[in-house]
Structure 1
Amino acid sequence: MDKYQSFYQPDSDISELVQHIEVLLTEWAERIALISSQQGLTLQHRSLQASLALDHNSLSVVQLQELAAGKRVVALVQDIRQAKNALALLQQLDSLKPYQSTDLRRAHAAFMATVVSDAGQYRQQGAGVYEDHKLVHMPPAPSKVEVLVDELFDGLQHEQLHPLISSSLMHYQLAYIHPFSDGNGRLCRLWQQLILIQWQPSMAYLPFTAVLKEKARDYQKTLRQAAPKYDATNFILFMLRSIQESLTAELQQLAQSSITQPVVLPDQPLVNLSQFVQLKAQKVKGKTPGPWYKTEDQILKKLKKDNRLSAKTIADELGLSSRAIEKQLAKLKAEGKLVRTGPAKGGRWQVVA
């Protein structure tokens, strides 16, 4: 067999997880049938934002929703382009077939339009996946990409595997092949979701990528550890546990939101309402403009205390990627809130804001 073909070992934990997820999905489908279209869209936007964030896109859920509503959003130009493309691609999900390589390229063309010059085309050059300047994965040669993708799609389409397992294998193997020059992470997660939606339409509203975002380091680590062994067992287990966790959390959230209790108002107000209105107005006035400013505030606060901190150190302390912090630092410099003095190594930050 081709050495790039992925394998997994039958495991009792996998069987138990599949069975438990199927039970949860029955309840999930019933709940989803009762939610409003706006609630469904919110769930999809949460999932989309989390997947974009895993590829270091800086937009928050609120910003993504505002972008979808046609409002102006302040963020990096490339991040806005990718988010707009992803929102457009969200509208095309029904037309995409998970076992058609032409649809994979079509989805990449839509997602990376105006972002990269080779959108919709398999990469024509060698590639390497790096972490902190360290090579962690060397994908197959460009000449093998098309053949490997076609073999993968054909094999998984005809192999008798549970969709939860085959979708995880699709995710793992596409990440290993690394078909495109950029945007592979988002496409891998989307293609797993497509297989799951084909199996259970209610999976279109499960934001399991939000769990992957919360466990970003474990997610990337599990994906890297599997690749050298050509064994996706651990990755399948990780994905199944993430889906199970997402289902459990979202079902609890929907259950809580559906509980309504009658509100009994007293005949006379218990407080001076004019004072309450004044206090409320003060709180609104002093409120931070939006959640996307939190990271900036944390960075500036840390640099005020220690102006020698590196992007990696800040990233570790905030639980974010170095690339995400570097983007925020560049944005703060462009806005005139930060000034860098001295060499790249050993220099200092000056907080202007």
Structure 2
Amino acid sequence: MILSLMKPPYHITSEILSLIASISEKIGEINAALLYKPTTELRKKNRIKTIQSSLEIEGNTLTEEQITALLENKRVVAPQKDILEVQNAIKTYEQLHQFNPYQIKDLERAHSILMNGLIESAGKLRTTNVGIVKGSKVEHIAPGGGMVKALVKDLFGYLKKDKDLLLIKSCVFHYEFEFIHPFIDGNGRMGRLWQTLILMQRYPVFEFLPVESLIKQQQSIYYSKLSESDKKGNSTPFIEFMLGIIQAALEEVLQLQNKTLYTEDRILLFKDKAGKNTFTRKDYLNHFKNISAPTASRDLKWAVEQGILSRFGDKRLAEYQF
């Protein structure tokens, strides 16, 4: 809960510290192996997974196959509202790089694309009072409409100026955003989107990280951690939960790394690393630790045949250059 011009309340636990250490280590591994730039096919798959999961949390019925069809401009039979939600989400995620996570006007612009045609006040902070009802009970009474503008301004002030780690600030932002409930509708998907956007600025891997699908798998815990943080008056339980989700999503990327890569993918990823330097098959193998020596030889032979690589010397002593 935010009190004007004060830092949102939370405390750093040993659990948070150990998660941060593990996440930092995994980001380091991903950066070293250049896995933050997944192949085009994988990027598309992860984007579809993200959109499907984030909207399913909000009750949307479309499957990954149907979302793929919409992306390819094919006709889909489904409720019109669900189709519109997906089309809006596709547009919003396509424009991710055009939003500055530190600007309120960009938050409003993203919301207006995401909720276009779904609510009348798309892109406008609410001025009325709301309560969030789950089943038959009121789950959360959001701050009054008259306070929203000031609270959002304070939250963005915290995001810009506070010296805490970005990983922590992104989780605090996500929780406080849901607590304030700044829009009439679409707050859940906006909070998740904005945390991604905040993290993407420093860690490119977050653009295609399947965080949403892991939240979807633990949806009831996600809501219970939001609720627990409300009751405790600080976001600590929610920070621990979200960092755990981020850690699991990064782990997934590391496990998938070589299973989903083909010869051409590996060669292009290695090109970024090698630049203009010469290298050996051993250097190539050190980079892709999950492949065998014969696979490395086949990759390099293919790249030479395609004219992507030049080869100097023979057999084991051979050196290559892009």
Shift of 1:34: 5.9
Q: How does 1:129-278 map to 2 (within 5 A)?
A: 129-258=132-261
User: Which residue of 6, 9, 17 maps to 1:7?
Assistant: 9
> 1: distance between equivalents of 2:70 and 2:170?
30
> 1: distance between equivalents of 2:244 and 2:37?
26
Shift of 1:18: 0.6
Amino acid at match of 1:161: D
Check if 1:51 corresponds to 2:36. no
> What is the TM-score normalised by the length of structure 1?
0.71
Q: Secondary structure at the match of 1:255?
A: coil
Amino acid at match of 1:91: E
Shift of 1:209: 1.1
Shift of 1:5: 6.1
> 1: distance between equivalents of 2:182 and 2:212?
21
User: What are structure 2's unaligned runs of at least 5 residues?
Assistant: 262-289, 296-322
> 2: distance between equivalents of 1:23 and 1:174?
28
For residues 165 and 38 of structure 1, do their structure 2 counterparts lie closer, same or farther at Cα, with a shift above 3 Å needed? same
Q: Could you list the per-position Cα deviations for residues 175-219 of structure 1 after superposition, in whole angstroms to 9, with x for gaps in the alignment?
A: 000011110000000110111001111210101111100000000
User: What are structure 1's unaligned runs of at least 5 residues?
Assistant: 264-353
Shift of 1:229: 2.4
Say if 1:6 and 1:230, in contact at 8 Å, map to a contact too. Answer: no
Q: Secondary structure at the match of 1:32?
A: coil
Say if 1:47 and 1:208, in contact at 8 Å, map to a contact too. Answer: yes
For residues 33 and 237 of structure 1, do their structure 2 counterparts lie closer, same or farther at Cα, with a shift above 3 Å needed? closer
User: Which residue of 91, 96, 99 maps to 1:93?
Assistant: 96
Q: How does 1:314-353 map to 2 (within 5 A)?
A: none
Which residue does the alignment assign to 2:27? Answer: 25
Amino acid at match of 1:2: L
Amino acid at match of 1:155: Y
Amino acid at match of 1:99: Y
Runs of 4 or more consecutive aligned structure 1 residues displaced over 4 Å after TM superposition: 259-263
> 2: distance between equivalents of 1:153 and 1:204?
21
Say if 2:126 and 2:145, in contact at 8 Å, map to a contact too. Answer: yes
> 2: distance between equivalents of 1:101 and 1:35?
30
> 2: distance between equivalents of 1:212 and 1:180?
21
User: Which residue of 104, 110, 113 maps to 1:107?
Assistant: 110
Q: Could you list the per-position Cα deviations for residues 70-94 of structure 1 after superposition, in whole angstroms to 9, with x for gaps in the alignment?
A: 1111111111101100100111111
Say if 2:88 and 2:113, in contact at 8 Å, map to a contact too. Answer: yes
Shift of 1:124: 2.6
Amino acid at match of 1:15: L
Aligned length: 263
Shift of 1:33: 4.9
> 1: distance between equivalents of 2:201 and 2:36?
17
Amino acid at match of 1:215: Q
Superposition RMSD in Å: 1.9
> 2: distance between equivalents of 1:18 and 1:159?
17
